[in-house]
Amino acid sequence: MELKRILLVEDSSRDIELILAALAENSLANEVIVTRDGAEALDYLYRRGIYRLRREGHPGVVLLDLKLPKVDGLEVLAKLKSDPELKAIPVVVLTSSREEKDLVNSYNLNTNAYVVKPVDFHEFVEAIKELGLFWAVVNQPPPGALPPVRPVTQE
């Protein structure tokens, strides 16, 4: 069985480093694709631009920051959840925003979860480990959310 890819949409180098370290610390071997703005995330999801030749299939989960350059996270979420081919991909909003309007808007746009990034380093690492474990290992995605499983042929 192929491991579910994780799409991380985050513009903070520090947060990217922390998230990747936390996932690795939990021994998650899932491939993590990092995009640094909303436009790049959409290019990845729609296989455009530098991602036009990426392998088929969708990520098992999208970890999405809200405060992004070019296209903000709410716009990415709205586009993803309004597309019949992409709307089943689980999206976890992972943000430092504690603003009620961001929380309400995210759920109105059908986010699967809203997680406020803890300020404390150890809490942040724990939160990411739990998120990664649940969404990348425990959660069962709908059919078509993953790349096709290649049949094993015996010679």
Amino acid identity at 70: K
Question: What CATH number does residue 69 fall under?
Answer: 3.40.50.2300
Task: Give the 3-state secondary structure of residue 25.
Answer: helix
Residue 1 lies in a domain: no
Q: How far is CA 32 from the centre of its chain?
A: 9
Average pLDDT across the chain, whole number: 82
Which pTM does this prediction carry? 0.81
* pLDDT score of 38 more than 60: yes
> What pLDDT does residue 144 have?
52
Residue 155 lies in a domain: no
Cβ proximity of 45 and 134 under 8 Å? no
Cβ proximity of 67 and 93 under 8 Å? no
When pLDDT is averaged across residues 150-155 and rounded to a whole number, the result is 38
The more confident residue out of 84 and 27 is 84
Residue 149 lies in a domain: no
When pLDDT is averaged across residues 5-29 and rounded to a whole number, the result is 84
Q: How far apart are CA 109 and CA 103, in angstroms?
A: 10
Residue 37 lies in a domain: yes
Q: Considering its fold, how many domains does the chain have in total?
A: 1
Cβ proximity of 20 and 152 under 8 Å? no
Cβ proximity of 65 and 116 under 8 Å? no
* pLDDT score of 101 more than 80: yes
Residue 15 lies in domain: 6-138
* pLDDT score of 150 more than 50: no
Q: How far apart are CA 61 and CA 28, in angstroms?
A: 14
Considering 20-24, 136-140, 149-153, the range whose residues carry the highest mean pLDDT is: 20-24
Residue 150 lies in a domain: no
Residue 90 lies in a domain: yes
